[in-house]
Structure 1
Amino acid sequence: MEFSGVLYTYDEAGRRTAFESGPFESPKTVVFIGGLGDGYNALSVLQPLQTALANKGWSLIQVNLSSSYNGYGSVDLQTDSDELDKLVHYLKERRNKTTIVFLGHSTGSQDCYWHNKHGETSESVAGYILQAPVSDREYFSKNLPNYDQLLAEAIALRKENKGRHFLSGFMDVPITADRFYSLAAYRGDDDVFSTDLPIDTLKELYQGLKRPMFLAEGSNDEYYASDVSQTEMLERLKSVCPAIKLTAIVPDADHSLSDPRAQKYFIDLVIEFLGTLC
């Protein structure tokens, strides 16, 4: 997978970069935010997405955050949000962007949720696309062999005000007690897509999200770890959050949209959603 474009530093102090491809001079851009472990060129869907966006006059930006690649274990959603604020300021002031849309993949969906609710520049973001917004907690609890041990360790460290201390035995990525708790604990900061959250809790969590959102699940998402149907969960979220304007279950789609048919289906919906924003 290859892209031609412009690489720039949007945060000099933090040495954070972003890569823009497509029509650079366009005032309209989609910012891709990857999930856990992701960085540049994270998904194969990005190439056909960039082509489709360019045909409609949009550029595509891939952003590098402190949480990119293996950095996710030691930062939090607020750090991501602060860095995305810096990116938005840069795009408006230095790249002359007037229409900015965030597209979050997997845990990047939590970044979209958090920025929509807490971001300083959320009013400057025209919309948020959440692709594969699934619960890390539900997946970890059913698939991580030492989940209970790690969660107990994280809770104990946090009680001792040692949330920044690293846990032992979490896959191959160093992760702090605070970050694991956020991802894996009930009502952790990242726990906003779990299917066992009561409706009153969802109402509380989604209060204050005002910018338009599009949520897209994959029909074959291997990380969706619940007996609650995806359709039912999306309906719950729509019922508590008027900002959710469009939802979809993408046929043939795994977590990363690896099937070309799923990619086309998703991209067509992205173009449809963008058309409602400007």
Structure 2
Amino acid sequence: MRTKPPASAKGNPGILHPYTPGLVAFEYTRNTHHPKPHTLIFIGGLGDGLGTVEYVTDIIEALYGTKWSVFAPVLSSSYSGWGTGSIGRDIDEIAQCVQYARKYKESTWGAGKVVVMGHSTGCQDILHYLSCANPRPRDEVAEQSGNTRGNGKVRSVEGTAEITRPAVDGAIIQAPVSDREAILWELKTGTDRDSPAAMQEVCQRAVLEAQRSTYEDQDSDYGCPPIKRDTLVPETVTARIGYPAATAVSSRRFLSLVSPNSPQNPDEDDMFSSDLGDEALKRTFGAVRDRRLLKSNAPLMVLYSGRDQSVPPYVDKEVLLRRWRTALGGDLWHTGSMIIPGASHALSDDDQAEPRQILVRKVLAYLGDVEV
């Protein structure tokens, strides 16, 4: 979801793991004398990186005397990298982190469990991980990432990606919200700088231009036919609709977040909008069962923030969660799923002590279910 300033976080010791060439994950290890065979892999939202989601510190402290440690991978899309990234590339990198964590933990402590948890746009990553074709369809444009080969360029072609995602022992999504609905609400209400009419004109022009020239062709260094590269949306546009001025946003990612053809034809990032039809939900929540990447003894747990600033007031959260549960299937929906009363988007406000306690209790209880 929308990017935000980094939160202050307590320092925690740990180990920096290079889980794949060019990418690292930080494992928080406050209690190295206690066996830690199990792993909770945490994926943040747009603009997040190490230590930017405050409540992760609470989870780390709560896991001190348990058999679980927290892995926080730095993806190519972490920090400002989200603007030119995609959730398709994210799930490839998450898969590599899952594979690494399993192998590392088994060699250190013996075979253990791996649970993935997403916050905000990290929820799109988790649901896409569980529901997308495995291996996923390859992108139609060239991708630039921290995991590079040869001269640093990764050339995408038709077909499927090289990475097959391993199954996980559990999955949690916290603050699964719709970027598109948040943007539409801002267009309706306006900002301190722009009226609703001005905002709508700016966004409409940006969408039309991004659709008209999403890619540009560049000669390939491989002696192959020209390949497509993303174009960029002007910063004067992205800054006015709430994105950091210093973050470059590709036309492709912009269209994915705004998803102008929704709700009939939602783009990749548009998974949690309240107006999506049942058919759209079948392609995400409804596809989890067939992919078999989530083990049946640990269903998906959804923790929705009751006072999420990114959710328009017209959204009926209870109805939305019931629709997701129906699409997923009741047996794959964890009974601990809930709307956390009073919780803000990232539970980082001054009045969030009680919601954070609820969230931590829920996560610990879920991990206890997985461990059995």
TM-score class normalised by the smaller sequence: over 0.9
User: Could you tell me which residue of structure 1 aligns to residue 281 of structure 2?
Assistant: 202
Whether 2:287 is the aligned partner of 1:233: answer no
* Percent identity of equivalent pairs: 30
The separation in 1 between residues aligned to 2:169 and 2:206, in whole angstroms, is 39
Q: Is the 8 A contact 2:98 2:166 kept in 1?
A: no
What is the TM-score of this pair, normalised by structure 2?
0.70
1:151 to 207, 231, 235: 207
User: Could you tell me which residue of structure 1 aligns to residue 333 of structure 2?
Assistant: 244
Residue identity opposite 1:275 in structure 2: G
Task: State the shift of 1:122 in Å.
Answer: 4.1
Which stretch has the larger CA shift, 240-249 or 186-195?
A: 240-249
The separation in 2 between residues aligned to 1:179 and 1:59, in whole angstroms, is 32
The separation in 1 between residues aligned to 2:104 and 2:58, in whole angstroms, is 27
The separation in 2 between residues aligned to 1:78 and 1:240, in whole angstroms, is 22
Q: Is the 8 A contact 2:39 2:101 kept in 1?
A: no
1:257 match: secondary structure: coil
Gaps of 5+ in 2: 1-9, 135-163, 188-198, 218-227, 240-244
Residue identity opposite 1:176 in structure 2: S
2:251 to 177, 181, 193: 177
The separation in 2 between residues aligned to 1:267 and 1:261, in whole angstroms, is 10
Task: State the shift of 1:183 in Å.
Answer: 1.3
Q: Which residues in structure 2 correspond to 1:1-278 (within 5 Å)? A: 1-12=10-21, 15-22=22-29, 23=31, 25-96=35-106, 98-118=112-132, 120-123=164-167, 125-143=168-186, 145=199, 146-158=202-214, 164-168=230-234, 169-171=237-239, 172=245, 173-185=247-259, 186=262, 187-210=266-289, 211=294, 212-242=299-329, 243-246=332-335, 247-258=337-348, 259-278=352-371
Residue identity opposite 2:18 in structure 1: T
The structure 1 segments of at least 4 consecutive aligned residues displaced by more than 6 Å after TM superposition are 159-163
Q: Is the 8 A contact 1:116 1:122 kept in 2?
A: no
Gaps of 5+ in 1: none
Residue identity opposite 2:180 in structure 1: R
Task: State the shift of 1:276 in Å.
Answer: 2.1
Q: Is the 8 A contact 1:37 1:69 kept in 2?
A: yes
What is the TM-score of this pair, normalised by structure 1?
0.93
Task: State the shift of 1:151 in Å.
Answer: 2.0
Q: Is the 8 A contact 1:110 1:133 kept in 2?
A: yes
Taking structure 1 as reference, are residues 251 and 156 closer, same or farther at Cα in structure 2, changes over 3 Å only? same
The separation in 1 between residues aligned to 2:308 and 2:321, in whole angstroms, is 14
Q: Is the 8 A contact 1:195 1:226 kept in 2?
A: no
The separation in 1 between residues aligned to 2:344 and 2:277, in whole angstroms, is 27
Q: Which has the higher helix share?
A: 1
Residue identity opposite 1:199 in structure 2: D
The separation in 2 between residues aligned to 1:272 and 1:134, in whole angstroms, is 24
Count matched residues: 275
- The C-alpha deviation readout for 1:142-172, integer Å capped at 9, x for no partner, is 2253332322222222387767111112121
Task: State the shift of 1:26 in Å.
Answer: 1.1
The separation in 1 between residues aligned to 2:369 and 2:38, in whole angstroms, is 13
Q: Is the 8 A contact 2:215 2:230 kept in 1?
A: no
Taking structure 1 as reference, are residues 239 and 163 closer, same or farther at Cα in structure 2, changes over 3 Å only? farther
Which stretch has the larger CA shift, 18-27 or 42-51?
A: 18-27
The separation in 1 between residues aligned to 2:215 and 2:313, in whole angstroms, is 30
Task: State the shift of 1:55 in Å.
Answer: 2.9
Q: CA RMSD in A?
A: 1.8
1:207 match: secondary structure: helix
